[in-house]
């Protein structure tokens, strides 16, 4: 296990990044998640960096607190070559994770979901598409 001390396992890093993604999507602090689990925010930091491996029972507790299935933490995990039929679109969903992992993406997502009028939401999507098309043509 000495090699794990030097470099975290890619799966542990992935699971940790998914914990961080979901926690930040909910606007929850590391301290609040830690309190809910009865551990320190430093331990949450270590999980999120992949420095410390999350045990099965702890991951189950985290999934319950963050209101996602345990499988959420393994979506698009490295080394999932044999994902099976019906999973062909999974790699393309990385852009969503990348977007929601960015500060701007998170802020935009939080603000967007607060807009209750579907017409306003549709106009906002149209505006963003138009801006993206304009940026491509430059």
* Structural fold of domain 2-92: 434 Repressor (Amino-terminal Domain) (1.10.260)
User: Which of these ranges, 1-15, 19-33, 103-117, has the smallest mean pLDDT?
Assistant: 1-15
Could you report the per-residue pLDDT of 105-137, keeping only the tens digit for each? 878 878 887 888 989 989 998 998 899 888 888
User: Mean per-residue pLDDT for 11-21?
Assistant: 92
* Lookup result for tokens 């319950």: 64
What residues does each domain of the chain span?
Answer: 2-92, 102-138
User: Mean per-residue pLDDT for 16-41?
Assistant: 92
Better-predicted residue by pLDDT, 87 or 45: 45
- Stated as kind and residue range, the H or E segment containing 99 is helix 94-101
* pLDDT of res. 15: 94
The DSSP result for 35-94, as a single string, is: HHHTS-HHHHHHHHHTSSPPPHHHHHHHHHHTTS-GGGGGTT-TT-TT--TT-TTGGGGH
- Stated as kind and residue range, the H or E segment containing 122 is helix 118-137
């Amino acid at each position: 296990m000495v090699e794990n001390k030097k470099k975290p396992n890619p799966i542990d890093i992935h699971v940790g990044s998914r914990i961080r993604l979901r926690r930040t999507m909910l606007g929850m602090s590391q301290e609040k998640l830690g309190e809910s689990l009865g551990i320190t925010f430093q331990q949450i930091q270590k999980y999120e960096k992949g420095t410390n491996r999350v045990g099965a029972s702890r991951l189950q507790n985290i999934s319950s607190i963050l209101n996602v299935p345990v499988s959420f933490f393994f979506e698009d995990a490295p080394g999932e070559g044999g994902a099976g039929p019906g999973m062909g679109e999974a790699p393309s969903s990385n852009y969503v994770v990348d977007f929601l992992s960015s500060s701007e993406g998170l802020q935009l997502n939080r603000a967007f979901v607060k807009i209750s009028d579907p017409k306003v939401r549709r106009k906002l999507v149209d505006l963003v598409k138009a801006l993206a098309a304009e940026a491509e043509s430059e």
